[in-house]
Amino acid sequence: MSDILHHLQTWIDSQEAFNDILQELDIPGSFVAWADDLAIPWATRTADEMPDALRAILSFVVQLFHRYGFLLNMDKGKTSAVVSFRGTGAPLLRQHFQLGAKPGDSVLIGDKMYFLHYVPSYKHLGTIFAANHRMDLEIRSRVGQAQAAFNLISKPILTNRHLPESTRLQLFRSLVESKLLFGLGAWITQLTGK
């Protein structure tokens, strides 16, 4: 896998238009990888450049993985793109690629046709990344998971008056609060009142 990631990073570094954007924004450009889970952040100057950029990325990744004997699972929920079209022409692109019966784009790679699903959100390493860049979905998910864990052990443990308060609090921290606050340190700073 490390050879694949090295080639991927070299390819990303060679994409001048993308790297110019990163330089202007003063942010490092790289992929996010964990074991066989891979996310590639990307940006283009105009909305209409994005579909072609995504085709180029998918084409490179498919062929790179193929060279090392891997096949990408292109099923929905396995390989997908979270796309935010912004600026001139964005409404038309959204209509064409995201608001149809089957959101996504067909890409011809070699002699095989691939379909890249465009999805509104994607869960990477337990955290939900949404196309609208808002945290609402992640917060709802965190609250839901914590609430489910709380309800499961509420009566027998967390509100059991036969257990000392300190024990109940300790168990609450490790079994419930850890789900509620997972990844909180990496969240964007909200303005007061939000």
Partner 1 sequence: MSKIKAVLLRMLQKVLRLTKEAIMSTTTAEVFRRAQQPDPRLADVN
- Return residues touching partner 1 (CB under 8 A): 139, 142-143, 146-147, 150, 154, 158-159, 161, 165, 168-169, 172, 176-177, 180-181, 184, 189-194
Q: How near is the Cβ of 171 to partner 1 at its closest, in Å?
A: 9
Question: In terms of CB distance, is 67 or 134 closer to partner 1?
Answer: 134
Question: In terms of CB distance, is 109 or 180 closer to partner 1?
Answer: 180
Q: How near is the Cβ of 181 to partner 1 at its closest, in Å?
A: 7
Q: How near is the Cβ of 129 to partner 1 at its closest, in Å?
A: 18
Question: In terms of CB distance, is 23 or 159 closer to partner 1?
Answer: 159
- Note whether 166 and 107 are within 8 A (CB): no
Question: In terms of CB distance, is 100 or 164 closer to partner 1?
Answer: 164
- Which residues, in sequence order, are CB contacts of 23 under 8 Å at separation 6+? none
Both tokens of residue 51?
């579909």
Q: What is the DSSP letter of 145?
A: H
Backbone angles phi and psi of 23, in degrees to 5: -65, -45
Q: How near is the Cβ of 45 to partner 1 at its closest, in Å?
A: 28
Is residue 109 helix, strand or coil?
strand
Backbone angles phi and psi of 76, in degrees to 5: -65, 135
- Which residues, in sequence order, are CB contacts of 60 under 8 Å at separation 6+? 8, 11
Q: How near is the Cβ of 130 to partner 1 at its closest, in Å?
A: 16
Question: In terms of CB distance, is 92 or 143 closer to partner 1?
Answer: 143
Whose tokens are 């450049």? That residue is 49
